[in-house]
Amino acid sequence: MQGDQILDCKGLSCPMPIMKLAIAMKKLDTGKVIELLGTDPGSKEDVPAWCDRTGNSLLEVVEEDDGFTFFIRKE
């Protein structure tokens, strides 16, 4: 899977990944997919919860060597 935009949040801790995601999503066209790379263990729960609350779709979570990649589609 590949996203339309990559958002590199590696090394960042709370609240930066979610804040950057929310702000990037505002600029994104509906139907496009953001690929968020993160290493904060908190993101594992925060990203799905945020998608749930905002009605965006979390398409896939891939576990990487040093963190996760989230694929989120703007709805």
**Residues forming the active site:** 14
6 is an interface residue for another protein by CB under 8 A: no
Among 1, 2, 30, 45, binds another protein (CB under 8 A): 45
Among 4, 6, 31, 54, binds another protein (CB under 8 A): 54
Distance in angstroms (rounded) separating the CA atoms of residues 54 and 67: 23
- β-strand partners of 73: 33, 57
In the bound complex, what is the minimum distance in angstroms from residue 60's beta carbon to another protein?
15
26 is an interface residue for another protein by CB under 8 A: yes
Q: What angle do CA 57, 61, 63 make, to 5 degrees?
A: 170
Q: Which residue has the tokens 């995601």?
A: 21
